[in-house]
Amino acid sequence: MTLEELQAQCARVPFFRFIDFTITNADDDAIFASMEQSNRHIGNPVIGAFHGGITASFMEAIASVSVSRNWDILLPKPINLTIDYLRPALAGTLFTKATISKKGRRMASIETVAWQEDAKKPVAKGLFHFLLV
Partner 1 sequence: MDQNDSTKARMAQIASVWNARALGLISEMDLKVEKAEAGGVEVRMPFNPDFCVDDEGTMLHGGILTALLDSAFGLANFLAIDNVATMATVDLRVEYLRPAQSRADVIVSAECYRQTRHVAFNSGRVWFDTPGLPEVARGFASFSIIRGETSMLDKLNTMGPGS
Pattern 76-105, binding to partner 1, x per CB under 8 A?
-xxxxxxxxx--x-----------------
Please report whether residue 73 would count as binding partner 1 according to CB under 8 A: no
Instruction: Please give the size of the binding site for partner 1, defined by CB under 8 A.
Output: 35
CB 95 within 8 A of CB 71: no
Please report whether residue 46 would count as binding partner 1 according to CB under 8 A: yes
Region from 11-19, 93-101, 105-113, 114-122 binding partner 1, contact rule CB under 8 A: 11-19
Region from 23-31, 57-65, 92-100, 110-118 binding partner 1, contact rule CB under 8 A: 57-65
List, in sequence order, every beta strand (DSSP E) within the chain.
Answer: 22-26, 30-36, 42-44, 49-50, 77-85, 93-103, 107-115, 122-131
In the complex, minimum distance from the CB of residue 47 to partner 1, in angstroms, rounded to a whole number: 9
CA distances from 120 to 13, 124, 130 (A): 31, 11, 27
| Alpha carbon distance 74, 16 (integer Å) | 13
